[in-house]
Amino acid sequence: MAKKTVEQQETVQEVKQTAWDIVQIARHAERPNIADYITFMCDDFVELHGDRLFGDDRSLIGGFATIGGEKVMLIGHRKGRGIEENIEANFGMASPEGYRKAKRLMKLAEKYHLPVVSLVDTPGAYPGCEAEARGQAEAIAHNLEFMATLKTQMVIVVTGEGGSGGALGIAVGDRILMLQNAVYSVISPEGCASILWRDGTKAALAAETLKITAGSLKSLGIIDDIIPEPKGGAHTDAAKAVAAVKKAVLDNLAVLKKINLDTLLQQRYDKFAAMGRF
């Protein structure tokens, strides 16, 4: 009886978890980042550098990888860990050269008939003047257009923060998955609160209103599936969390590879065209 009571108490605690609570977990400094996914999920990884136009953005990385024997092109945001890495990676906020690099790697994936696995974890694209001057909006827009017709399988996983166009720039795919405590939104709760109520302290209310959690987005048909996390969040057991992502990626790739390519592209188009219809 005592065990049952404890389980019931834990269930009540989980129900009481708010969207703002989940935002804090999604932003946790020790949450698994792309380096952890490469270490625990990939049998091997060969990073590719540069966009062949400007430079190599360290906030968005990618390369050839093998996951459970499956050869893929792995792309993902890099926030870094610790202040020095955070600064080098610009806290995961990519510039135009990052998105152009991602597009170059996706073209290689199409050429060599490799699936693309994209790990999304960014507060948003870098909004600085230099990024805008180099064509930030254009780079993201070109990626959206390109991914819509990319002739290979694409699995997207939102592992932490999925912030606005910065996330979308590598997130148009056949399957959109989210970790249980990840968030995915057009704007941060703080930004939304500042615009709607001119009061950043109402971020918690904005988080609830925006419907940015995995459960809300699944019910709205924005994402396809939710990947469970260890109790307390992915940061409590990185290896277990990454193992869950690995299984979900491989399971979805196995299904996608059985679908005719023309059918797959039509389904991808239909998926995104249906969003916003009620």
Model pTM? 0.89
Per-residue model confidence (pLDDT) at position 11 = 42
Whole-number Å distance between alpha carbons of 133 and 22: 34
150-194: per-residue pLDDT in tens? 999 999 999 999 998 999 999 999 999 999 999 999 999 999 999
DSSP E strands in 4-148: the ranges are 44-48, 60-67, 70-77, 116-122
Per-residue model confidence (pLDDT) at position 15 = 54
Taking a C-beta distance cutoff of 8 angstroms, is the pair 14, 21 a contact? no
* Per-residue confidence band for 82, with pLDDT thresholds at 50, 70 and 90: confident
Closest by CA to 77, choosing from 210, 171, 174, is 171
User: Which CATH architecture describes the domain 25-271?
Assistant: Alpha-Beta Complex (3.90)
Q: Name the DSSP class of 192.
A: H
Q: Which helix (DSSP H) or strand (DSSP E) does residue 227 occupy?
A: strand 225-227
Instruction: For helices 136-148 and 261-273, give the axis angle rounded to 10 degrees.
Output: 130
Asked if pLDDT for residue 277 goes beyond 90, the answer is no
Per-residue model confidence (pLDDT) at position 253 = 97
Q: Residues of the chain with pLDDT > 90: what percent?
A: 84
Per-residue model confidence (pLDDT) at position 156 = 97
Per-residue model confidence (pLDDT) at position 275 = 86
Q: Which of 8-12, 202-206, 270-274 has the lowest mean pLDDT?
A: 8-12
* Mean pLDDT (whole number) for 54-75: 95
Domain ranges of the chain: 25-271
Per-residue model confidence (pLDDT) at position 185 = 94
Beta carbons within 10 angstroms of residue 40's beta carbon: 16
Taking a C-beta distance cutoff of 8 angstroms, is the pair 158, 179 a contact? yes
Whole-number Å distance between alpha carbons of 75 and 61: 6
Q: Residues of the chain with pLDDT > 70: what percent?
A: 94
Taking a C-beta distance cutoff of 8 angstroms, is the pair 118, 155 a contact? yes
Per-residue model confidence (pLDDT) at position 13 = 44
Torsional class of 153: left (φ above 0), alpha (ψ -120 to 50), beta (otherwise) = beta
* Mean pLDDT (whole number) for 221-227: 94
Q: Is the Cα torsion angle 194, 197, 202, 206 positive or negative in sign?
A: negative
Q: Which of 3-7, 66-70, 105-109 has the lowest mean pLDDT?
A: 3-7
What DSSP assignment string belongs to 228-244?
---TT-GGG-HHHHHHH
8-63: per-residue pLDDT in tens? 444 444 557 899 999 999 999 999 999 999 999 999 999 999 999 898 999 999 99
